[in-house]
Structure 1
Amino acid sequence: MIIRPITPGDLDPLLEIATESGPGFTSLMPDRDALSRKIEHSVASFARPVTEPGDEYYLFVLEDSSTGEVMGTTGIEAAAGVSRPLVHFRRNAVIHHEEDRQKRHPEESLTRCRHYTGCTEVCSLYLRPKFRRANAGKLLSRVRFVFMALHPERFADKVIAEMRGVSDDTGQSPFWDWLKHQVADLDFMSATQLACCSQSDFIESFIPATPLYTRQMTNAARAAIGQVHNDTRPARHMLEREGFRHRGFVDLLDGGPTLECRKADIVSVRDTFIASACARPRTVGPERDKRAAPESAIVANTACSEFRATVSDRAWWDPEANRVVVTDQVARDLNLGDRSLAGCLPLDHQNALPEPRQRPGHNPATEEIRYAH
Structure 2
Amino acid sequence: MSWRVRPARGSDLDALYELAMMTGGGFTNLPQDRDAMAARLARSDAAYAKDISAPDDELYMLVLENSATGRIGGTAVVFSRIGVEWPFYSYKLNLLQQNSKELNKTFAIQSLNLTSDHDGASEVGGLFLHPELRTGGLGRLLARSRYLFIACHRQRFAERLLAELRGVIDPDGGSPFWDGLGRAFFGMSFQDADSFNAIHGNQFIADLMPKHPVYVALLPETARAVIGLPHPNGRPAMAMLEAEGFSYDGYVDIFDGGPTMTVRTDNVRSIRDSRRGDVMALVDDHGTMGRALLASGQLSGFRAWIGHAQWVDGAEAAGLFLPRGEAEAVGVKMGDKVRHVGF
Q: TM-score range by the shorter chain?
A: over 0.9
Matching of residues 1-373 of structure 1 within 5 Å: 1-96=3-98, 98=100, 100=102, 102-278=104-280, 280=282, 282-285=284-287, 290=288, 293-294=289-290, 296-312=291-307, 314-320=308-314, 322-347=318-343
- The 8 Å contact of residues 29 and 77 in structure 2, kept in 1 or not, is answered as no
Superposed CA offset, 1:312-350 (max 9, x none): 1x3333333622222334323433211111111111xxx
Superposed CA offset, 1:256-276 (max 9, x none): 011100011111100110111
What is the root-mean-square deviation in Å for CA atoms of aligned residues? 1.8
Residue 170 (structure 1) shift: 2.3
Matched residues in 2 for 1:85 and 1:198: separation? 13
Amino acid at match of 1:13: A
Matched residues in 1 for 2:95 and 2:198: separation? 29
Residue 69 (structure 1) shift: 0.2
Q: Give SS of 1:189's match.
A: helix
Matched residues in 2 for 1:242 and 1:201: separation? 32
Amino acid at match of 1:186: M
Amino acid at match of 2:111: S
In structure 2, the partner of 1:359 is none
Superposed CA offset, 1:232-284 (max 9, x none): 00111111111111111111111001110001111110011011114636223
- The 8 Å contact of residues 279 and 337 in structure 1, kept in 2 or not, is answered as no
Instruction: Name structure 2 gaps, 5 residues minimum.
Output: none
Matched residues in 2 for 1:136 and 1:64: separation? 11
Residue 104 (structure 1) shift: 4.2
- The 8 Å contact of residues 283 and 325 in structure 1, kept in 2 or not, is answered as no
- The 8 Å contact of residues 278 and 337 in structure 1, kept in 2 or not, is answered as no
Q: Give SS of 2:191's match.
A: helix
Amino acid at match of 1:316: Q
- The 8 Å contact of residues 276 and 340 in structure 2, kept in 1 or not, is answered as yes
- The 8 Å contact of residues 301 and 308 in structure 1, kept in 2 or not, is answered as yes
Q: CA distance change for structure 1 residues 63 and 241 in 2, over 3 Å: closer, same or farther?
A: same
- The 8 Å contact of residues 87 and 112 in structure 1, kept in 2 or not, is answered as yes
Q: Give SS of 2:21's match.
A: helix
Superposed CA offset, 1:89-126 (max 9, x none): 11111234546472442200111111111100001111
- The 8 Å contact of residues 6 and 304 in structure 2, kept in 1 or not, is answered as yes
- The 8 Å contact of residues 309 and 334 in structure 1, kept in 2 or not, is answered as no
In structure 2, the partner of 1:358 is none
Name the TM-score, length of structure 2 as normaliser: 0.93
Q: CA distance change for structure 1 residues 61 and 181 in 2, over 3 Å: closer, same or farther?
A: closer
Matched residues in 2 for 1:219 and 1:49: separation? 50
Superposed CA offset, 1:130-166 (max 9, x none): 2223110001111111111121101000000011101
Matched residues in 2 for 1:13 and 1:315: separation? 32
Residue 48 (structure 1) shift: 1.2
Superposed CA offset, 1:16-53 (max 9, x none): 11111121111111111111111111111112112101
If each structure's strand is expressed as a fraction of its own residues, which one has the higher value? 2
Identity of aligned residues (%): 34
Matched residues in 2 for 1:298 and 1:78: separation? 22
Matched residues in 2 for 1:195 and 1:88: separation? 14
Q: CA distance change for structure 1 residues 204 and 270 in 2, over 3 Å: closer, same or farther?
A: same
Matched residues in 1 for 2:268 and 2:172: separation? 35
Residue 70 (structure 1) shift: 0.3
Amino acid at match of 1:9: S
- The alignment of Structure 1 onto Structure 2 pairs a total of residues equal to 339
Amino acid at match of 1:178: G
Instruction: Name structure 1 gaps, 5 residues minimum.
Output: 348-373
